[in-house]
Amino acid sequence: MVSNYNSPSEVGTGAPTKGTVAMNVSAAGFVQFYVFLPNGTLSPSAVLDSEGPKFLPRMCTVCHSGRASNPAANPDLGSIFREFEPTLLEPRPGVDRATAEQDWSDLNLAVRGANEAIRPQSEGASFGTDRAKRAMRERIDALRAPNGTPDAVPASWSAGGPAAQTLFTKLLVPYCLSCHRHNAYDWTNYENFSYLREGGLLKSFLPNAPDPNSPESAMPQSAFTFGLLQNDQGAKSAVSAWLATSACTPSANPCEPGAVEATTAGCASPGTVRHRTCSEQCLWQNFSAECRDEVQVPGSVGAIGAKKIELSAARKARRLDGNCPSAAPFAFAETPFVYVSVRNPTAKRARVAIFTSKAPGGAVIDTVMAAYDGPRIPVTDEERRACSSGVGDVGDESLTGNSDFASLDGNRAITIAPGAMAQIYVAAFNAQATGPLMISVKTLSLE
């Protein structure tokens, strides 16, 4: 529970607060948020800074992770308790820095314990909860480690070159990672951040953006931190240097920027791989930690590659609906889903049809599909809306064997550049539909 005052001198004097925000772990094992007005009345919103009223639960999930897809139906947002960052705090009056840092360390230990009380995904928590808990546990352990270096440049950022390393230190550490370490955008991994270089996209989210009044341009989402960044010339210079066109770094194993490689090393499940991409400096990044389902584009026209996949009740999200790319609203139903990577290992542009069908021994499952260009799996609502093909909710029976199985064919077939890949969203239409099914890729042309 945190109560706000006009100044620290008012604490304990009986002066009225400006309001109170609170959170707890429910009996069912998920985080709940509360806002109280100065008179103690519950409120749906709070004024945290100069940006005016902000409403629950989005006001909290921005920093505490989670998503509010339909809180009335599913109150488990997948949120967590946040750490106390010493570099962002000042000692309270009358306390020296060393004492304050010990207090913050003790509070972080309490935060760590609170997060352990949050139920895992295996017990019904929202997708993403486990990763957020793990990221926060690792951050708190790094902060509390004696003589530790919690803000050291990660290996993936070091591999991005000097400009990336400076950007991490000057921009990411002080302004971004407080949220983008544990939320849907994990920017401790350079691969997850580097797409913001395309067309100078990063600048559109920062102070002095092309449209600074746009909600999408309000980064960071704390007015205080936003103001600090607005006046930080070192951070701005790091952004400009990183966005500047750079030549390839000399390397014994150069690669084409944007190219993708896969390996089965470290993947226990058959047919799953880890990927790595080539950076703008023509250097291979580290292989991803996550093993993904993958189907390769066959190297001859008319050939079909296929893989058995599984829709599980343990992984659900609001079903994608509508038409890509500009209008893909979400249905209220949360249904099982999976993403499958389709990679083109050939030296030619491939036009492919992608479809689902009945697995051996499986049942007919009513499915929907959509495609996304590139190696990144979409996470946020905005990313999921930006699909490149779909949403397909019926199939060509000559491919699928049953129209309930979805397909991306005809004018919804997709094109994948040489060495590139696409991500395919496959979801059940109904919330209760689970089980195995096949996903297939048919090569229509190679040019």
Report if residue 340 sits inside a domain. yes
Report if residue 204 sits inside a domain. yes
Same domain, residue pair 135 and 156: no
Same domain, residue pair 146 and 157: no
CA 414, 419, 423, 424 torsion: positive or negative? Answer: positive
Cβ-defined contacts of 230-235 (< 8 Å, 24+): 232/170, 232/174, 232/175, 234/170, 235/170, 235/171, 235/174, 235/175
Report if residue 182 sits inside a domain. yes
Same domain, residue pair 300 and 413: yes
More confident position, 402 or 417: 402
- DSSP characters for 312-366? -TTSEEEEE-SBTTTB--EEEEEEEEEEEEEE--SSS-EEEEEEEEEPTT-----
pLDDT in tens, 65-75: 887 666 667 88
Kind and range of the H or E run holding 155: helix 155-158
Q: Which tokens in the block code for residue 266?
A: 């470290």
More confident position, 71 or 45: 45
How many Cβ atoms are within 10 Å of 298's Cβ, its own excluded? 21
Same domain, residue pair 136 and 176: no
Same domain, residue pair 68 and 88: yes
Same domain, residue pair 304 and 388: yes
How far is 309 from 288, CA to CA, in rounded Å?
20
Q: Which of helix, strand or coil describes residue 181? A: coil
Q: Residue 331: its pLDDT value, please?
A: 60
Angle at the Cα of 10 from the Cα atoms of 6 and 13, rounded to 5 degrees: 150
Kind and range of the H or E run holding 103: helix 97-116
Single residue among 92, 126, 150 that ends a domain in this structure: 150
Domain CATH for 375: 2.60.120.380
Same domain, residue pair 119 and 20: yes
Res. 400: pLDDT tops 90:
yes
Same domain, residue pair 142 and 14: yes
Report if residue 45 sits inside a domain. yes
Report if residue 282 sits inside a domain. no
Residue type, 314: A
pLDDT in tens, 283-326: 788 888 889 899 999 999 999 999 999 999 999 988 888 887 65
Average pLDDT over every residue of 22-44: 94
How far is 335 from 311, CA to CA, in rounded Å?
9
Cβ neighbours of residue 154 closer than 8 Å, sequence gap 6 or more: 168, 188, 189, 190
CA nearest 30: which of 110, 141, 138, 127?
A: 127
Report if residue 323 sits inside a domain. yes
Q: Tokens 């890509």: give the residue.
A: 324
Angle at the Cα of 180 from the Cα atoms of 177 and 186, rounded to 5 degrees: 115
pLDDT in tens, 95-142: 898 999 999 999 999 999 999 999 999 998 988 899 899 999 999 999
pLDDT in tens, 342-388: 999 998 889 999 999 999 999 999 999 999 988 888 877 777 877 88
Same domain, residue pair 159 and 236: yes
Q: Please tell me the total count of domains within the chain.
A: 3
Task: Report residue 192's pLDDT band, with 50, 70 and 90 as the boundaries.
Answer: confident
Same domain, residue pair 326 and 344: yes
- Indicate the pairing of strand 292-296 with strand 330-343: parallel
CA 331, 378, 410, 428 torsion: positive or negative? Answer: negative
Res. 216: pLDDT tops 70:
no
Range of the domain at 241: 152-246
Average pLDDT over every residue of 247-268: 77
295 within 8 A of 352, measured Cβ to Cβ: no
Average pLDDT over every residue of 253-278: 84
Single residue among 133, 150, 167 that ends a domain in this structure: 150
Single residue among 126, 150, 174 that ends a domain in this structure: 150
How far is 260 from 155, CA to CA, in rounded Å?
19
Same domain, residue pair 201 and 342: no
Task: Report residue 215's pLDDT band, with 50, 70 and 90 as the boundaries.
Answer: very low
Same domain, residue pair 89 and 208: no
Report if residue 280 sits inside a domain. no
Res. 1: pLDDT tops 90:
no
Report if residue 285 sits inside a domain. no
Average pLDDT over every residue of 87-93: 83
Q: Phi and psi at residue 75, in whole multiples of 5°?
A: -75, -10
